[in-house]
Amino acid sequence: MNFSRIFHNLNYAVSALLFLMGLYTVTVKPNLIKKLIGLNIMETSVFLLIVSLGMIPDGQAPIVTNGVRPSMMVNPIPQALILTGIVVAVSTTAVALSLCIRIHEKYDTLDAFKIHGRGGL
Amino acid sequence: MNWVLNLLLLIFLVCTAAAAILIKDLLAAAIVFSAYSLLMAILWTQLRAPDLAITEAAVGAGVTTVLLIVTIYRTVRKEE
Amino acid sequence: MRKIMVLAALVVIGIVLLYAVGKMPPMNSRNTPDKTHVVPRYLNEGESEGGAKNIITGVILNYRGYDTMGEVTVIFSALCATIALLDREKRKVSRSGVDASGVRASVIVRTVVRFLVPIVVFFAAYMILHGEATPGGGFQGGAIIGASVIIFTLVFGLPESTRRMPLKARVPFESIAMLGFLAMGFIGIAFGVNFLTYVLPGLHGSLVDTIRSQMLMVIEIGIGIGGGLVFTSIVLAMVREDEYELQPDIPQP
Amino acid sequence: MSVSAHHPVLLVAVPLFFAALCPIWGMWRREACFPWALLGVVTTGFFAWSLIGKVTSTRAVTYNAGGWRPPWGIQIRIDFLSLLLICMITGVGLMVLVYSWRYVGKELPPEKITYYYTLVLLILTAMLGFSITGDLFNFFVFMEIFSITSYALVAIVGGPRAVRAAFKYLLMGATSSITVVLAIALLYSATGSLNMLDISNRLKTTSYLPVAGVALVFFIAAFSVKAALFPVHVWLPDAHSIAPSPISALLSALVIKMGVLGIFRILFTVYGHTFSDLSSTWSHVAGVVSWAAALAIVLGSIMAIMQRDLKVMIAYSSVAQIGYILLGITMLSPLGMVGGLYNMLAHAMGKACLFLVAGSIIYKHGLRRIEDMRGLGRTMPVTAGAFALASLSIVGLPPSAGFVAKWYILWGCFQKGNFAFVVIVLLGSLLSAIYCFRVVYYMFFAGARERGATFDEAPLTMYFPAAVLSAGTLFFGVFAGLVIPFLSNACRAVLMR
């Protein structure tokens, strides 16, 4: 494993770490809202990875203004994709939270172990 | 892109994410998560993505946090 | 036991991810595959072909407009899903102008918010209309509109904001973002070009650019209004408290 | 350019238009939603129908959304597999919609009816868009639409078990969606493109193949969750058994096929060309998927036998049938792949029919337990007959479509010389015969006297769709020659290049 490359790609490594933290929360934490926070952390970590892909040295935002040549701009595609991704993330969260409200009405708890018995979700 | 600022923001990101995961009080976790989103927005301005930074600040830190808080308000606040 | 299994799985995934990170193209460099293949055309021609100074706006509305149509469908389906799960807010609620604990918001907060909300909405409108040239655009503007409604609801209570934005006025405009996309797409088909093509045949000179920017503007405004209303409706459906209906009106001080 | 050239995009735009206006109709009058949705699906079906001739005469119909050529814009690409799927989606969707009319009127609170039909239209739109797109990120966007709508549709009635199952489904589904984005990001960093065919070309020359290999693993893992492949199938029995029956039919017949389509597209369309470094990773992944599928066949069938609730049994049977489909696809022999893809068709019709029948029984008598089905063959002859016909297809007996599919899969196993899979396929058929014919036995032969022999059938709009679907399994069994030649051409093209 090439550690100097990993350090150079620090943003990628941190997003991998955040992804794992989110996944841990989703799978282990019993509280449903906690799980959703973990899901959101996972999502933003992937977004961080994609946005970091587009960076170039001394890059400028991809907006045509005076004094910014196209070769100085960062890659706009990841940004366009992530714009979609953020909206998708908030949509999923909204649906999940409405489900949480319903679950709390039926079970009077948000603890996965209490809702499901021993196995959890 | 400023390497020092980038590094600092990454460290803060990991700290806030860990805090949001570990804090037992869900309301506090939601607020910390909102801070996490804002840090992410700042990081994105450093990565020259102003559109995304605005979106994340409005949607991630704003709308998502409000939805979380509304849900916590309608359900339970403490993680048992 | 379960924790140990999960941790083992996470370690495996982590090693795979780290391996990928080690092999990925170096960050912050110009010669990676993603910057040499598709992007140069966007950056060089984006203003003239895509019709927006902000290249990202050009990409999301023009080059990848079909994706964005899917994206507005995602938030619309999130709204439908939320409503299907929670129902709409009830229309007749009596307890007005108080927060959850029954305490009226202080006069300072109310005054500040009364002045703040128009400014926020104005800023959102700027963002929607000016997304072509500056950071921002329909989604950002829509989210900010949604945020302003949330602030208003927090301070003045749900009944007041449902009075200001009644259900009958909201429902027809919630799907307007999709309808904007579809209308512009069908215009393209009617003119004999592909769906979501904004350069219509049979036009000359600067008229092409004008028509294109008008069409993009229609879509952008549609996304702004539709997105804002969807966020508003989701939040209003979620803050609906059934107990509100049962309690008598608290006399105003 | 004539209007017929635009049919590929109208396949998505028209149902989307109908979905967008549905809540407005519902605000005016709730009863208007059903005819409106029906009109939408019928119109969409017309576009799907009109594409059949075009796709079968050429290899693929393409359409550039926005007029941008592929690497720059999003291309819609309808090959024969997409055609098969869009015909399945519109056909089964229409039947499910017709069935919904009476069922929903009884089971759902009236204020939810508007959004029920809107969500059904949205889920059909999303599946159509997902099947015909040629762009990876567009793939993800449509996947999110049908995922979000199906989470809501599972829980729309709102019982305690339903919301619990929906949340479980949501957690697994959302995690897999995020994994798909991660994989898209990795693949984008290695190739710099989002169009599937373009990625496939660029993978030949890229110097970042290990990254693409990791992306492949994540893609397959994520789509396996959507397809409910064996170790990650745990959401399926809960969600599919507790959802309203038309929705169970929709989810089991179509939505899990989308996961299969994802695996197919990734394995063959995107990564199919790559040789050298990646080929060992690729064949390992395919091997793992085929063994998981084999395990799914056995364990899914055994779990189905152990169930006492009819809908849970049918749901576990879906796990086994998905195993057949994926086993056929990942066997890497043309015959096996034809069998796997044909089983998609057979399973879509058969499983939709079984769930609709189970729904009719719940609607009419409120019965869920298999032992309680005694004598239903007399009182509900059409419904029970449809069940028996459809279970022929699920088991794989002639002359049903399921038989053709399993025959090809078996043939593919022999061609590959893999006798373990031969045994598993035959064992799976035996086990499914046990669980299916147990129900048929109760319906027709056990204790008929306990229930009066009076004719007490479900409404016409409920038994008719089930009858049509079961007749469909028979039709495509007898006239398999209508589809098989095109499928085998497509499969050979996929495997030989």
Task: Render pLDDT for A50-99 as a digit per residue (tens, 0 to 9).
Answer: 999 888 888 888 888 887 888 888 999 999 999 999 999 999 999 999 99
The domain segmentation of chain B, as residue ranges, is 3-74
Mutation target vs C (from A73, A83, A105; most C CBs, 10 A cutoff): A83
Residues of C numbered 6-25 whose beta carbons fall under 8 angstroms of chain A's beta carbons: which are they? Answer: 6-7, 10, 13-14, 17-25
The enclosing H or E element of C3 equals helix C2-23
Burial of C115 (0-12, 13-18, 19+ CB in 10 A): exposed
Q: What are the phi and psi torsion angles at C105 (to 5°)? A: -65, 145
Give residue D364's pLDDT. Answer: 87
* Closest CB to C150 among B54, B66, B74: B66
Distance separating alpha carbons of residues C143 and C158, to the nearest angstrom? 19
Candidates A28, A41, A77, A79, partner chain C, best to mutate (most C CBs within 10 A): A77
**Is the Cβ pair C83, D115 closer than 8 Å?**
yes
Indicate if the pLDDT at residue D323 is higher than 80. Answer: yes
Task: Note the pLDDT tens digit of each residue in D456-465.
Answer: 788 888 899 9
Q: What is the pLDDT of residue A120?
A: 53
For residue range C136-148, list pLDDT tens digits in order: 888 889 989 888 8
Q: Which tens digits make up the pLDDT trace of C46-80?
A: 888 888 888 888 888 889 999 999 999 999 999 99
- The confidence score (pLDDT) of residue D274 equals 61
Can you tell me the distance from the alpha carbon of D231 to that of D148, in angstroms, rounded to the nearest whole number? Answer: 22
Would the CB atoms of A41 and B21 count as touching at under 8 Å? yes
**Tens digit of pLDDT for each residue in D374-432?**
888 888 889 999 999 999 999 988 889 999 999 999 999 988 888 899 999 999 999 99
Task: Write the CB contacts of D248 (distance below 8 Å, at least 6 apart in sequence).
Answer: D240, D241, D311, D314, D315, D355, D358, D359
Choose among A56, A95, A120: nearest Cβ to C81: A95
Q: Name chain D contacts of C23, Cβ cutoff 8 Å.
A: 208, 210-211, 214
Q: Chains touching chain D at 3 or more Cβ pairs under 8 angstroms?
A: A, C
Residues in chain B, pLDDT under 70 = 1, 80
Residue type, C106: S
pLDDT, one tens digit per residue, over D86-135 is 999 999 999 999 999 999 888 888 888 999 999 999 999 999 999 999 99
Q: What is the pLDDT of residues D457-495, one digit of tens each?
A: 888 888 999 999 999 999 999 998 888 998 888 888 888
Contacts of D231 (CB under 8 A, 6+ apart): D292
CB-nearest to B33 from A37, A94, A104 is: A37
pLDDT of residue C157: 75
Residue A117: pLDDT over 80: no
pLDDT given for residue D206 in this prediction: 82
In chain C, pLDDT over 90 holds for what percent of residues?
A: 24
Subunits with 3+ C-beta pairs closer than 8 A to B: A, C
The CA distance from D190 to D185, in Å, is 9
Q: Looking at the domain that runs over A3-116, which CATH code has it been given?
A: 1.10.287.3510
pLDDT of residue D85: 94
Could you tell me which of A27, A33, A28, A30 has the C-alpha nearest to residue A99? A33
Residues of C in contact with D155 (CB under 8 A): 85
Average pLDDT (C160-181) is 85
**Boundaries of every domain in chain A:** 3-116
D184 touches chain C (CB under 8 A): no
Prediction pTM value:
0.94
Spans of all domains in chain C = 54-246
Q: What is the mean pLDDT of residues D194-216?
A: 89
Tell whether the model's pLDDT for residue A31 goes beyond 50. yes
